[in-house]
Amino acid sequence: MIGAQILIECLKREGVEVIFGYPGGQVLPIFDRLYDAEVKFILTRHEQAAAHAADGFARATGKVGVCLATSGPGATNLTTGIANAYMDSIPMIAITGQVKTFLIGNDAFQEADVTGITRPITKHNYLVKDVKDLAKVVREAFYIATSGRPGPVLIDIPSDVQLADTDFIWPETVNIRSYNPTSFGHPGQIKKAAKFIASARKPVIYAGGGVISSDASSELFELAEKIPAPVTWTMMGIGCFPTTHKLSLGMLGMHGTAYANHAIMESDLIIAVGARFDDRVTGRIDAFAPNAKVIHIDIDPSSISKNVRVDIPIVGDAKNILIELNSHIKKSSDTTDWLKTVTGFKRKHPLRYKEGDKIKPQHVIEQIYEATNGEAIITTEVGQNQMWACQWFKYSSPRTFISSGGLGTMGFGFPAAMGAKVGFPDKVVFDIAGDGSIQMNIQELATCVSNKINVKVAILNNGYLGMVRQWQELFYKRRYSQVNITSPDFVKLAESYGAVGIKITNPKDVRPAIDKALAIDNTVFLDFHIEPEENVYPMVPAGEALNRMIEGLA
């Protein structure tokens, strides 16, 4: 079997249903084999979008996302998408062509040192120089990408290796002596955590993306109700706990709810599960939760005690640890007064916005929530659109909110929506976008239309790069520098691609437009012309303590 065929066979055995990618000179043998293969191939219009689509597919389905590009520029175009997946611990396999082995290092046409470039943005990477190693490498790559703290793995395959012939030997098992992720937590630590929980009077559960990647939502739910303790989550944790539940505090941090931030600051025990105390979450680190002991459950030992001092670290898979922890919690803790206090925070500092003559972005998102009965998969771009999408859609289940967390990649949401829709063709997938972000991967309209991937895009069009404008307004004396952004006529643009565009300028037309979009069996751009200088509140200014929020309408 030649290398290209071995690759396709391995992907099949790993259960890969779809590949997102783009052909080119150094992957011709692979594409020749793809011509006859069963695996579905989605041809994007830019390699960056292929990586984001694979990422979106992975986040929505929990399976591995696979993208494929040629050497040189094909591979470098993937890198933003790979870095994005790396920061958010998303299992992804990126396959790139490389110049022939004897040309490597010669500055050959379309050559780039792709394993060198991607070393700091992959969990691991491989340059396959011998076809005999290929099957083993692919097997290892999938194992590494999906185990422990998941992440992207890149496989760089020179074109002569793709053509070289060898016997195909599928390794039944993977054994990497230098890689043994911990999956069960230390029993002694778990017992100690249960004791801390029993004596806590003001506990808060702080849940992150790890709860979603380890599929631990129901265990988290059980823990919250057993204690009972209020639950707040990071942006990556959205969907791990139902927003409408009485113990829900919503998202915390810079643009989190005021009540979540107040609860964290007053708590006496933080139970962190699959979260990493990112600077957008903690605010000023030395002022963070001054009276709280910290239990930190995480699969990655390097996340523990990185930013905050931890009293009880428990390394392992969140689901396994929570099952064990729940079994040690025999009766509920005395948290009645605390829950009353927290309810008081909620009543005193609700999320709010003011209706006006112009369309309010928060209203658009509320209407999308209602029109879809809360059952849509929401993807976002980055900036104000993203924060409003976090705040105003009431997520109730994991893998229904897909957003670029760690890297904050504008242009992510639209291709990620494609990936999610490919994973769930029967679900409504909505990308909440800004007029700036959507233009960063707008070429994917062609991919959507030609593959009948019908996603809906709500452009919150304010004529600004809104989040940067907000910072310039609040912290740079309204000196608006390079944040006015012009856009094409999104309706005509969508139409020219064969999609549908609808422009909405009046608040009363918001809901009918959303309903109309949902009824159209095509990709739809909803161009909402919103209040141009609407800000995202509450907001913790960078470097301030979490309880020093600007609440906007207070």
Partner 1 sequence: MRHTISVLVENKPGVLARVAGLFSARGYNISSLAVSETLDPTVSYITMVIEAKDEKVLEQIKKQLNKLIDIITITDFTKKEHVDRELILVKINYSSKSKAKLDSLLDKQVSKIIYSKGDSAIIEVVGEQEPLKQLLVILNEQFGIKELVRSGRIAMG
Q: Tokens 């041809």 belong to which residue?
A: 43
At 396 the three-state DSSP class reads: coil
Stretch that binds partner 1, among 115-123, 353-361, 476-484, 515-523 (CB under 8 A): 115-123
What mask of x and - would describe binding to partner 1 in positions 285 to 304, judged by CB under 8 A?
A: ---------------xxx--
Stretch that binds partner 1, among 113-121, 431-439, 531-539, 542-550 (CB under 8 A): 113-121
Specify the residue, 133 or 222, whose C-beta has the smaller distance to partner 1: 133
With binding defined as CB under 8 A, does residue 120 bind partner 1? Answer: yes
- To the nearest whole angstrom, how small is the minimum distance from the Cβ of residue 110 to partner 1? 21
For residue 17, what are its two tokens?
Answer: 């249903």
Angle made by CA atoms 245, 220, 141, in degrees to the nearest 5: 130
With contacts defined by CB under 8 A, how many residues of the chain interact with partner 1? 17
- To the nearest whole angstrom, how small is the minimum distance from the Cβ of residue 307 to partner 1? 10
Specify the residue, 116 or 290, whose C-beta has the smaller distance to partner 1: 116
What mask of x and - would describe binding to partner 1 in positions 304 to 343, judged by CB under 8 A?
A: -xx-------------------------------------
For residue 530, what are its two tokens?
Answer: 């919103």
Specify the residue, 147 or 437, whose C-beta has the smaller distance to partner 1: 147
Q: Tokens 């064990």 belong to which residue?
A: 324
Instruction: Tell which one of 41, 179, 471, 480 touches partner 1 (CB under 8 A).
Output: 179
Terminal alpha carbon distance of the chain = 69
Instruction: Tell which one of 13, 40, 102, 116 touches partner 1 (CB under 8 A).
Output: 116
User: Whose CA is closest to 352, among 175, 157, 545, 552?
Assistant: 552
Give the E-state strand segments of 398-498 in sequence order: 401-402, 429-434, 456-461
Specify the residue, 127 or 263, whose C-beta has the smaller distance to partner 1: 127
| Burial letters 68-106, b for 16+ CB under 10 A, else e | bbbbbebbbbbbbbbbbbbbbbbbbbbbbbbbbbebeee
CB 183 within 8 A of CB 317: yes
Instruction: Tell which one of 167, 172, 177, 519 touches partner 1 (CB under 8 A).
Output: 177
Stretch that binds partner 1, among 175-183, 268-276, 472-480, 524-532 (CB under 8 A): 175-183
- To the nearest whole angstrom, how small is the minimum distance from the Cβ of residue 382 to partner 1? 23
CB 369 within 8 A of CB 267: no
Q: Which of residues 134-173 bind partner 1 (CB under 8 A)?
A: 144
- To the nearest whole angstrom, how small is the minimum distance from the Cβ of residue 300 to partner 1? 7
CA atoms within 13 A on the CB side of 365: 26
Q: Is 132 exposed, middle or buried (0-12, 13-18, 19+ CB in 10 A)?
A: middle
Residues of this chain that interact with partner 1 (CB under 8 A) are 115-116, 119-120, 123-124, 127, 144, 176-179, 300-302, 305-306
